[in-house]
Amino acid sequence: MAQRNSAASQTTKRLTENHQTNTVLIIEHVGCNIDDCAGGGIILKTSVALAIAIITTPIFLMSARAGDSQIERGKYLVTLAGCNDCHTPGYFFGKPDPTRYLGGSDVAFEIPGLGAFAGANITPDKETGIGNWTIEQIVTALQTGSRPDGRVLAPIMPWRSFADLSKADATAIAAYLKSIPPVKHQGTGPFAPGDKIPAFLFRILPPGEVAAAAK
Protein backbone atom coordinates (compact mmCIF):
# COMPACT_ATOMS: atom_id res chain seq x y z
CA MET A 1 0.00 0.00 0.00
CA ALA A 2 2.88 2.33 0.89
CA GLN A 3 4.45 1.62 -2.48
CA ARG A 4 1.13 2.28 -4.21
CA ASN A 5 0.68 5.57 -2.34
CA SER A 6 4.24 6.50 -3.19
CA ALA A 7 3.60 5.69 -6.85
CA ALA A 8 0.37 7.66 -6.79
CA SER A 9 2.16 10.63 -5.31
CA GLN A 10 4.44 10.64 -8.35
CA THR A 11 1.45 11.39 -10.59
CA THR A 12 1.79 14.93 -11.89
CA LYS A 13 -0.27 17.13 -14.11
CA ARG A 14 0.89 19.91 -16.31
CA LEU A 15 -1.49 22.38 -17.94
CA THR A 16 -0.40 24.29 -21.02
CA GLU A 17 -2.56 26.91 -22.68
CA ASN A 18 -1.98 27.49 -26.37
CA HIS A 19 -3.94 30.38 -27.91
CA GLN A 20 -3.18 29.19 -31.42
CA THR A 21 -4.91 25.82 -31.06
CA ASN A 22 -6.90 24.63 -28.05
CA THR A 23 -6.07 24.24 -24.37
CA VAL A 24 -4.23 20.95 -23.92
CA LEU A 25 -3.79 19.01 -20.72
CA ILE A 26 -0.70 16.79 -20.55
CA ILE A 27 -0.79 14.14 -17.89
CA GLU A 28 2.44 12.61 -16.77
CA HIS A 29 1.86 9.44 -14.84
CA VAL A 30 4.85 7.67 -13.34
CA GLY A 31 4.87 4.19 -11.79
CA CYS A 32 1.15 3.50 -11.69
CA ASN A 33 -1.59 2.59 -14.14
CA ILE A 34 -5.35 3.01 -13.86
CA ASP A 35 -6.12 -0.63 -13.09
CA ASP A 36 -3.25 -1.44 -10.71
CA CYS A 37 -3.12 1.63 -8.55
CA ALA A 38 -6.28 2.59 -6.69
CA GLY A 39 -5.18 6.03 -5.57
CA GLY A 40 -3.28 6.86 -8.71
CA GLY A 41 -6.06 5.44 -10.85
CA ILE A 42 -8.58 7.78 -9.27
CA ILE A 43 -6.25 10.72 -9.77
CA LEU A 44 -5.59 9.78 -13.37
CA LYS A 45 -9.24 9.20 -14.20
CA THR A 46 -10.13 12.55 -12.67
CA SER A 47 -7.35 14.19 -14.63
CA VAL A 48 -8.54 12.66 -17.89
CA ALA A 49 -12.07 13.96 -17.24
CA LEU A 50 -10.60 17.38 -16.49
CA ALA A 51 -8.57 17.22 -19.69
CA ILE A 52 -11.69 16.51 -21.75
CA ALA A 53 -13.54 19.40 -20.11
CA ILE A 54 -10.64 21.79 -20.68
CA ILE A 55 -10.20 20.76 -24.31
CA THR A 56 -13.88 20.81 -25.26
CA THR A 57 -14.93 23.98 -23.44
CA PRO A 58 -12.97 26.33 -25.73
CA ILE A 59 -14.47 24.54 -28.75
CA PHE A 60 -18.01 25.21 -27.47
CA LEU A 61 -17.09 28.82 -26.73
CA MET A 62 -15.61 29.32 -30.19
CA SER A 63 -18.73 27.81 -31.75
CA ALA A 64 -20.97 30.13 -29.72
CA ARG A 65 -18.87 33.15 -30.72
CA ALA A 66 -19.06 32.13 -34.37
CA GLY A 67 -22.85 31.82 -34.11
CA ASP A 68 -23.11 35.24 -32.47
CA SER A 69 -20.91 36.75 -35.16
CA GLN A 70 -23.09 35.25 -37.91
CA ILE A 71 -26.27 36.61 -36.30
CA GLU A 72 -24.71 40.06 -35.90
CA ARG A 73 -23.75 39.98 -39.57
CA GLY A 74 -27.31 38.99 -40.45
CA LYS A 75 -28.72 41.83 -38.35
CA TYR A 76 -26.45 44.30 -40.12
CA LEU A 77 -27.54 43.05 -43.56
CA VAL A 78 -31.25 43.06 -42.66
CA THR A 79 -30.92 46.64 -41.46
CA LEU A 80 -28.96 47.71 -44.53
CA ALA A 81 -31.46 46.05 -46.90
CA GLY A 82 -34.39 47.88 -45.29
CA CYS A 83 -36.36 44.72 -44.49
CA ASN A 84 -37.96 46.65 -41.63
CA ASP A 85 -39.55 49.06 -44.13
CA CYS A 86 -41.79 46.53 -45.86
CA HIS A 87 -42.22 43.96 -43.09
CA THR A 88 -42.93 45.95 -39.90
CA PRO A 89 -46.44 47.32 -39.22
CA GLY A 90 -46.69 51.09 -39.05
CA TYR A 91 -43.51 51.85 -40.95
CA PHE A 92 -45.25 53.48 -43.92
CA PHE A 93 -47.17 55.73 -41.52
CA GLY A 94 -44.00 56.92 -39.83
CA LYS A 95 -44.66 54.90 -36.67
CA PRO A 96 -43.09 51.44 -36.96
CA ASP A 97 -44.24 49.15 -34.15
CA PRO A 98 -41.10 47.82 -32.43
CA THR A 99 -43.15 45.19 -30.59
CA ARG A 100 -44.06 43.65 -33.96
CA TYR A 101 -40.69 44.02 -35.63
CA LEU A 102 -40.78 42.24 -39.03
CA GLY A 103 -44.23 40.92 -38.09
CA GLY A 104 -45.91 41.76 -41.42
CA SER A 105 -46.86 45.08 -43.02
CA ASP A 106 -50.30 46.68 -42.91
CA VAL A 107 -49.83 48.19 -46.38
CA ALA A 108 -50.07 46.25 -49.64
CA PHE A 109 -48.37 47.03 -52.94
CA GLU A 110 -50.52 46.78 -56.04
CA ILE A 111 -48.87 45.30 -59.12
CA PRO A 112 -51.12 45.80 -62.17
CA GLY A 113 -52.33 42.51 -63.54
CA LEU A 114 -51.01 40.48 -60.62
CA GLY A 115 -52.84 41.78 -57.56
CA ALA A 116 -51.70 43.32 -54.29
CA PHE A 117 -49.06 42.06 -51.89
CA ALA A 118 -48.04 43.11 -48.38
CA GLY A 119 -44.72 42.35 -46.73
CA ALA A 120 -45.19 39.07 -44.87
CA ASN A 121 -44.48 38.16 -41.27
CA ILE A 122 -40.86 36.99 -41.41
CA THR A 123 -40.41 36.31 -37.70
CA PRO A 124 -39.97 32.72 -36.44
CA ASP A 125 -43.62 32.37 -35.35
CA LYS A 126 -44.69 28.90 -36.48
CA GLU A 127 -48.31 29.79 -37.21
CA THR A 128 -48.18 33.24 -38.82
CA GLY A 129 -44.50 33.66 -39.68
CA ILE A 130 -41.69 31.56 -41.12
CA GLY A 131 -40.95 29.54 -38.02
CA ASN A 132 -41.42 26.27 -39.92
CA TRP A 133 -38.95 27.24 -42.62
CA THR A 134 -35.40 25.90 -42.35
CA ILE A 135 -32.30 28.03 -42.77
CA GLU A 136 -31.83 26.46 -46.21
CA GLN A 137 -35.42 27.25 -47.25
CA ILE A 138 -35.03 30.89 -46.22
CA VAL A 139 -31.81 31.15 -48.21
CA THR A 140 -33.52 29.58 -51.24
CA ALA A 141 -36.40 32.07 -51.00
CA LEU A 142 -33.98 34.99 -50.68
CA GLN A 143 -31.90 34.01 -53.68
CA THR A 144 -34.33 32.27 -56.06
CA GLY A 145 -37.73 33.70 -55.04
CA SER A 146 -39.08 30.19 -54.43
CA ARG A 147 -41.03 29.50 -51.23
CA PRO A 148 -41.15 26.06 -49.55
CA ASP A 149 -44.78 25.67 -50.73
CA GLY A 150 -43.74 26.18 -54.34
CA ARG A 151 -45.14 29.69 -54.72
CA VAL A 152 -42.95 32.41 -56.20
CA LEU A 153 -42.42 35.59 -54.21
CA ALA A 154 -44.16 38.71 -55.50
CA PRO A 155 -42.07 40.99 -57.76
CA ILE A 156 -42.07 43.67 -55.06
CA MET A 157 -39.77 41.40 -53.03
CA PRO A 158 -36.25 42.20 -54.33
CA TRP A 159 -35.01 38.61 -54.34
CA ARG A 160 -33.27 39.17 -57.68
CA SER A 161 -30.97 41.62 -55.91
CA PHE A 162 -30.48 39.23 -53.01
CA ALA A 163 -29.50 36.54 -55.51
CA ASP A 164 -26.14 38.31 -55.74
CA LEU A 165 -25.47 37.85 -52.03
CA SER A 166 -22.78 35.39 -51.08
CA LYS A 167 -24.03 32.14 -49.60
CA ALA A 168 -22.48 33.14 -46.28
CA ASP A 169 -24.34 36.47 -46.20
CA ALA A 170 -27.66 34.91 -47.23
CA THR A 171 -27.21 32.31 -44.49
CA ALA A 172 -26.39 35.02 -41.95
CA ILE A 173 -29.67 36.79 -42.80
CA ALA A 174 -31.57 33.52 -42.38
CA ALA A 175 -29.85 32.83 -39.05
CA TYR A 176 -30.75 36.31 -37.79
CA LEU A 177 -34.41 35.93 -38.83
CA LYS A 178 -34.54 32.64 -36.93
CA SER A 179 -33.08 34.32 -33.83
CA ILE A 180 -35.49 37.26 -33.38
CA PRO A 181 -38.58 37.08 -31.14
CA PRO A 182 -41.58 35.46 -32.87
CA VAL A 183 -44.52 37.77 -33.53
CA LYS A 184 -47.99 36.25 -33.79
CA HIS A 185 -49.57 38.44 -36.45
CA GLN A 186 -51.35 37.25 -39.56
CA GLY A 187 -50.33 39.52 -42.40
CA THR A 188 -52.78 40.75 -44.99
CA GLY A 189 -53.11 39.33 -48.50
CA PRO A 190 -52.08 38.36 -51.04
CA PHE A 191 -54.97 39.71 -53.14
CA ALA A 192 -55.89 38.77 -56.68
CA PRO A 193 -56.91 41.38 -59.27
CA GLY A 194 -60.48 42.49 -58.53
CA ASP A 195 -60.34 41.58 -54.82
CA LYS A 196 -61.58 44.10 -52.28
CA ILE A 197 -58.53 45.20 -50.27
CA PRO A 198 -59.08 45.49 -46.50
CA ALA A 199 -55.71 47.20 -46.06
CA PHE A 200 -54.00 50.39 -47.14
CA LEU A 201 -52.75 50.17 -50.69
CA PHE A 202 -49.81 51.49 -52.67
CA ARG A 203 -51.08 51.92 -56.22
CA ILE A 204 -49.14 52.67 -59.38
CA LEU A 205 -51.04 55.12 -61.59
CA PRO A 206 -50.34 56.00 -65.22
CA PRO A 207 -48.93 59.42 -66.15
CA GLY A 208 -51.44 62.26 -66.08
CA GLU A 209 -53.37 61.09 -63.02
CA VAL A 210 -54.17 63.56 -60.24
CA ALA A 211 -52.75 63.04 -56.75
CA ALA A 212 -55.43 62.07 -54.27
CA ALA A 213 -56.51 64.69 -51.77
CA ALA A 214 -56.01 64.05 -48.08
CA LYS A 215 -59.07 62.74 -46.24
**pLDDT: is 157 or 65 the higher one?**
157
Please check whether residue 213 lies inside any domain of the structure: no
Please check whether residue 212 lies inside any domain of the structure: no
User: Same domain for 113 and 189?
Assistant: yes
User: Same domain for 138 and 57?
Assistant: no
Residue 39 lies in domain: 2-71
User: Same domain for 118 and 60?
Assistant: no
User: Same domain for 48 and 124?
Assistant: no
Three-class secondary structure of residue 117 per DSSP = strand
In 3D space, the residue among 120, 121, 123, 105 whose CA is nearest the CA of residue 202 turns out to be: 105
User: Same domain for 58 and 149?
Assistant: no
Tell me how long the chain is.
215
Please check whether residue 80 lies inside any domain of the structure: no
Q: Among the three residues 71, 105, 129, which one is the final residue of a domain in this structure?
A: 71
4 class by beta-carbon count within 10 Å (0-12 exposed, 13-18 middle, 19+ buried): middle
pLDDT tens digit string along 53-93? Answer: 555 555 545 555 666 899 999 999 999 999 999 999 999 99
- Under the banding of pLDDT at 50, 70 and 90, the label for residue 211 is confident
Is the confidence at residue 29, as pLDDT, over 50? no
User: Same domain for 90 and 182?
Assistant: yes
pLDDT tens digit string along 165-201? Answer: 999 999 999 999 999 999 999 988 899 999 999 989 9
User: Same domain for 43 and 127?
Assistant: no
Please check whether residue 166 lies inside any domain of the structure: yes
Distance CA 205, CA 141 (A): 29
Please check whether residue 121 lies inside any domain of the structure: yes
Is the confidence at residue 15, as pLDDT, over 90? no
* Residue 53 and residue 32 in contact, taking contact as beta carbons nearer than 8 Å: no
User: Same domain for 30 and 95?
Assistant: no
Cis peptide before 190 (omega within 30 of 0): yes
Please check whether residue 210 lies inside any domain of the structure: no
User: Same domain for 197 and 98?
Assistant: yes
Please check whether residue 103 lies inside any domain of the structure: yes
User: Same domain for 111 and 175?
Assistant: yes
User: Same domain for 61 and 116?
Assistant: no
Distances (CA, A) of 88 to 9, 15, 98: 67, 52, 8
Indicate whether this model's pTM tops 0.85: no
Q: Among the three residues 71, 95, 114, which one is the final residue of a domain in this structure?
A: 71
What is the DSSP track for 54-112? HHHHHHHHHHHHHHHHHHHHHHHHHHHHTHHHHHSTTGGGT---GGGTTS--SEEEEET
Supply φ then ψ for residue 92, to 5 degrees.
Answer: -75, -5
- Helix runs in the chain, H state only: 2-9, 38-81, 83-87, 135-144, 159-162, 167-179
User: Same domain for 104 and 187?
Assistant: yes
Number of domains in the chain: 2
